[in-house]
C-alpha cells in the first residue's frame, strides 16, 4: 500500500530526470577495483590464536610505496577508542633487511624502508576489562570468537585512502566469519575498495548462530554470538522482527544502498554502532529473553543510520583521518531524524514500542524537552556540536541532540503534511536528502532547509532561523494544531514509583584528559546545585571535608542524599577556593498532555489520520 503511494507520488511530483548526485558518470566507474598506477597495493593478514586471546597480529604487505611514508590509525568521529595505544612490536622489513619506524604522533608513524616492497608487522594487545560490560563495537577476543578489523586493527597509508586492499584472516578452523567486507573466491580473504570501507566494516569471527534472509532479492545476514552456556531465546522472533524493520526501510527509500547487509549481535556487550553495510549491536541474552523490543529499537536506530549518517552525511564528515574530525553542526538531523525514523519504522512494522501511540510518544518527547532550559539557550546546531564534544561545552546545561532533532523533525513533518495537503511528508525529505547528500558532498542545515522548502513548497526559513540556527521557544501548539491536537503542560513534583518526592541529584563529576582530579558538571542551572552557586568545571577539593578520588566515590555520596540533607562542597575555580553548602530539595518536572481539539476541519482530520496510520 505504502509502496504504491510512493510510486504514484514519484511519477506525479518528482522531475523525471532528477538524478542529482548520481554516483557514476560512466560504466567504467562501476568496476570494482580502480587504481592510480602510483597508488600502493596493500594486503593485510590478521592472525588470531584462540589459545592466546590477549592479542592478535597484523601483517601489512605493501608494494609500490616510496622510500619514506606514513602509516596511521583512524580516529572515529564519535567513538574514538584510540586503539593506537595498544599497538605493540611494530616492525618493518624489506627484502634488503629492516626498515626504520619513528613515532611522529600518538596515532602516526613515519616509516623509512628504502624499498618499494615493505612488510609491516604489529600486534594489537587488547585492553583487559574489569567487570565492566564491553562496548559492542570494540575489538575483543575470547576462546569462542571476537570482533576484529575496523579502526581497532588496521593501520592505513596516509595520503592513499583510496587504495584498495585485501584482508586474509588466519583464525581457528571451527570459527566462522561475518563482515560487510566483500567476499572473494577464497572464503578467508576479503576485499575493501578503499580505506574508508576497510575501517568501517568490522569483522566478526567465531562460533555463532547465523541466518540469511532476502528482501527484494538483497541478501541480509543475522549473526548472533553468545557467551558459553547462554540460555536459549526466541530466535525466530528476533529474525522476524529484524526482517520487518528492513522491509520498512526499503519501503521508505525504495531500494537498499548496499550489496548485502550483516547484523552482528553479541552477548556480553552493550551499545551499538552503525557501519557501511553492517551494524554491531550489544544484545545480552537476558535482554533478548526479557525485553527483545529494546533490542529491536536499538537495531532500528543503528540500521537507519546506514542511510542517515553513513550515506546522508553532515558536511564535516569527510574522508577518514587519524586526527579527530571537527564536531558537526548537523547531528540534530543525523541523530534526531534517526530517532524519529527508528520509532516510525517500528510502528510501521507493527513491532511493540515503548510509547503505545504516536501521541504518547510526542508527550514523552516534549516532556523531556521542557524539562531542560538548555533548548531555550542553545540552537540545534550548537547542541549538535556539543553532543560529541567535551563535557562543559554547554556550561551548566545539558541537552540531547537526539531528542532535540527528533522533536524538530516531528514538527517539520507536520508543516510539510499541512502545506501539501497530506501529499508529502518527511519521508520525501529523507529520499531527497539521500539523492543529494549521499555522495562526496555532505549537507549543512541550510541544505536541509532548502530540501524541506523544495518538498513542501512552503516557507520554512523562519522555522530554521528560530529553532535550528536560533534557540527561540517552540510554540508547540502552533504545529500540533495542524493535526487537530492541543498540548497542555502542568508542573508536577518529581515523584518516585511509590509516590514520594525525589531528591534533586542533578549533578555528576568528570575528569578531563590528563587531569588527576575531579570536576563538577551541572545539568540544569535551576537545580539546587546550580542555585547554590556551583558551576560546571569547578574542581572538587572535598565533600563534607573529605577528599573525593573517583567519579564512582562522588556518585556514591550523591546517591545517598535525601531531601532536607545538607552537603558542603569545597571547590576550586580560577578566582580561588570556595566552600558552598547545598540544601537538597525536591524538584518539579513538566507533565505534558496532548489531546484532540474539539472542533476539527476536514483538513486537520485527514492530516491526523495520515500521520497516525
Residues near Zn ion, by CB under 5 A:
335
Q: Specify the DSSP class assigned to residue 523.
A: S
Residue 103 has phi, psi (to 5 degrees) of: -80, 115
Q: Measured from the CB of residue 401, what is the shortest distance to Zn ion in angstroms?
A: 10
In contact, 450 and 435? CB cutoff 8 Å? no
Count of helices and strands (H, E) across the chain: 17, 30
302 vs 396, beta carbon nearer Zn ion: 302
DSSP designation for 39: S
Beta bridge partners of 60: 44, 120
Q: How far is the CB of 265 from Zn ion (least distance, A)?
A: 17
Distance (Å, rounded) from C-alpha 399 to C-alpha 387? 8
359 versus 403: smaller Cβ distance to Zn ion: 403
- Hey, which residues does 269 pair with through a beta bridge? 134
Nearer to Zn ion, 335 or 504 (CB): 335
How far is 456 from 228, CA to CA, in rounded Å? 54
- How near is the Cβ of 338 to Zn ion at its closest, in Å? 5
**Shortest Å, Cβ 293 to Zn ion:** 18
Q: Which is nearer to Zn ion, 115 or 306 (CB)?
A: 306
Return the number of the residue (335 or 418) whose C-beta is nearest Zn ion.
Answer: 335
- Residue whose beta carbon is closest to Zn ion: 335
Nearer to Zn ion, 86 or 258 (CB): 258
Nearer to Zn ion, 335 or 396 (CB): 335
Q: What is the largest CA-CA distance in the chain?
A: 87
The torsion angle over the Cα atoms of residues 310, 312, 316 and 319, rounded to 10 degrees, is 50
Question: In the bound complex, what is the minimum distance in angstroms from residue 273's beta carbon to Zn ion?
Answer: 8
**CA atoms of 71 and 160, how far apart (whole Å):** 10
CB of 239 to Zn ion, least distance (A): 23
Query: Rounded to the nearest 5°, which phi and psi values hold at 193?
Result: -70, -20
Burial of 53 (0-12, 13-18, 19+ CB in 10 A): middle
Nearer to Zn ion, 200 or 335 (CB): 335
Query: Is the Cβ–Cβ distance between 604 and 414 less than 8 Å?
Result: no
* CB 328, min distance to Zn ion, A: 12
Q: What is the dihedral of CA 227, 233, 238, 240, to 10 degrees?
A: 140
Residue nearer to Zn ion on the CB measure, 335 or 363 = 335
Q: Which of 170, 451, 211, 248 is nearest to 330 (CA)?
A: 451
- Among residues 356, 350, 348, which one has the least CA distance to residue 249? 348
Give me the least distance between CB of 305 and Zn ion, in Å please: 6
Give the cell for residue 264: 552482528
The least CB distance from residue 302 to Zn ion, in Å, is: 7
Amino acid at each position: 500500500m505504502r509502496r504504491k503511494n510512493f510510486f504514484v507520488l514519484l511519477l506525479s511530483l518528482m522531475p523525471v530526470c532528477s538524478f542529482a548526485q548520481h554516483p557514476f558518470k560512466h560504466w567504467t566507474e562501476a568496476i570494482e577495483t580502480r587504481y592510480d598506477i602510483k597508488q600502493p597495493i596493500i594486503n593485510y593478514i590478521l592472525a588470531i590464536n584462540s589459545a592466546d586471546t590477549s592479542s592478535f597480529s597484523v601483517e601489512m604487505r605493501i608494494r609500490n610505496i616510496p622510500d619514506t611514508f606514513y602509516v596511521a590509525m583512524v580516529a572515529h568521529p564519535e567513538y574514538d577508542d584510540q586503539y593506537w595505544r595498544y599497538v605493540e612490536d611494530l616492525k618493518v622489513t624489506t627484502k634488503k633487511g629492516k626498515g626504520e619506524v619513528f613515532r611522529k604522533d600518538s596515532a602516526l608513524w613515519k616509516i623509512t624502508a628504502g624499498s618499494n616492497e615493505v612488510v609491516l608487522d604489529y600486534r594489537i594487545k587488547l585492553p583487559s576489562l574489569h567487570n565492566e560490560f564491553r562496548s559492542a563495537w570494540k575489538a575483543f577476543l575470547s576462546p569462542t570468537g571476537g570482533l576484529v578489523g575496523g579502526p581497532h586493527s588496521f593501520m592505513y597509508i596516509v595520503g592513499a585512502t583510496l587504495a584498495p586492499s585485501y584482508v586474509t584472516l588466519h583464525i581457528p578452523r571451527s570459527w566462522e566469519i561475518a563482515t560487510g567486507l566483500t567476499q572473494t573466491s577464497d572464503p578467508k580473504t576479503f576485499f575493501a575498495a578503499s580505506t574508508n570501507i576497510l575501517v568501517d566494516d568490522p569483522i566478526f569471527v567465531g562460533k555463532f548462530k547465523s541466518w540469511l534472509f532476502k528482501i527484494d532479492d538483497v541478501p541480509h545476514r543475522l549473526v548472533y554470538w553468545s557467551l558459553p552456556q547462554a540460555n536459549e531465546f526466541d530466535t525466530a522472533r528476533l529474525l522476524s522482527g529484524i526482517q520487518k524493520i528492513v522491509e520498512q526501510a526499503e519501503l521508505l527509500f525504495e531500494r537498499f544502498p548496499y550489496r548485502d547487509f550483516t547484523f552482528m549481535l553479541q552477548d556480553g556487550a552493550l551499545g551499538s554502532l552503525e557501519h557501511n553495510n553492517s551494524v554491531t549491536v550489544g544484545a545480552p541474552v537476558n535482554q533478548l529473553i526479557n525485553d527483545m523490543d529494546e533490542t529491536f529499537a536499538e537495531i532500528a536506530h543503528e540500521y537507519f543510520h546506514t542511510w542517515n549518517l553513513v550515506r546522508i552525511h553532515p558536511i564535516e564528515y569527510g574522508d577518514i583521518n587519524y586526527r579527530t574530525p571537527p564536531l558537526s553542526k548537523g547531528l540534530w538531523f543525523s541523530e534526531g531524524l534517526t530517532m524519529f525514523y527508528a520509532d516510525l519504522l517500528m510502528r510501521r512494522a507493527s513491532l511493540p514500542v515503548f510509547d503505545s501511540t504516536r501521541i504518547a510518544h510526542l508527550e514523552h518527547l516534549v516532556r523531556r524537552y521542557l524539562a531542560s532550559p538548555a533548548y531555550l539557550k542553545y540552537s540545534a546546531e550548537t547542541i549538535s556540536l556539543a553532543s560529541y564534544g567535551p563535557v562543559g561545552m554547554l556550561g551548566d546545561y545539558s541537552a540531547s541532540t537526539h531528542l532535540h532533532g527528533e522533536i524538530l523533525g516531528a514538527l517539520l513533518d507536520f508543516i510539510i503534511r499541512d502545506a501539501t495537503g497530506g501529499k508529502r511528508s518527511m519521508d520525501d525529505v529523507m529520499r531527497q536528502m539521500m539523492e543529494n547528500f549521499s555522495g562526496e558532498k555532505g549537507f549543512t542545515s541550510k541544505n536541509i532547509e532548502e530540501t524541506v522548502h523544495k518538498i513542501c513548497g512552503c516557507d520554512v526559513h523562519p522555522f530554521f532561523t528560530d529553532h535550528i540556527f536560533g534557540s527561540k521557544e517552540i510554540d508547540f501548539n502552533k504545529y500540533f494544531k495542524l493535526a487537530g491536537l492541543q498540548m497542555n503542560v502542568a508542573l508536577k513534583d518529581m515523584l518516585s514509583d511509590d509516590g514520594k518526592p525525589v531528591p534533586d541529584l542533578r549533578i555528576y563529576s568528570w575528569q578531563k584528559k590528563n587531569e588527576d582530579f575531579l570536576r563538577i558538571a551541572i545539568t540544569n542551572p535551576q537545580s539546587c546545585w546550580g542555585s547554590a552557586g556551583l558551576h560546571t568545571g569547578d574542581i572538587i577539593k572535598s565533600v563534607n571535608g573529605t577528599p573525593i578520588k573517583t567519579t564512582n566515590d562522588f556518585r556514591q555520596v550523591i546517591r545517598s542524599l535525601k531531601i532536607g540533607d545538607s552537603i558542603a562542597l569545597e571547590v576550586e575555580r580560577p578566582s580561588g577556593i570556595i566552600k558552598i553548602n547545598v540544601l537538597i530539595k525536591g524538584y518539579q518536572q513538566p507533565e505534558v498532555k496532548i489531546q484532540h481539539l474539539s472542533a476539527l476541519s476536514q483538513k486537520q482530520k485527514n492530516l491526523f489520520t495520515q500521520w497516525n496510520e
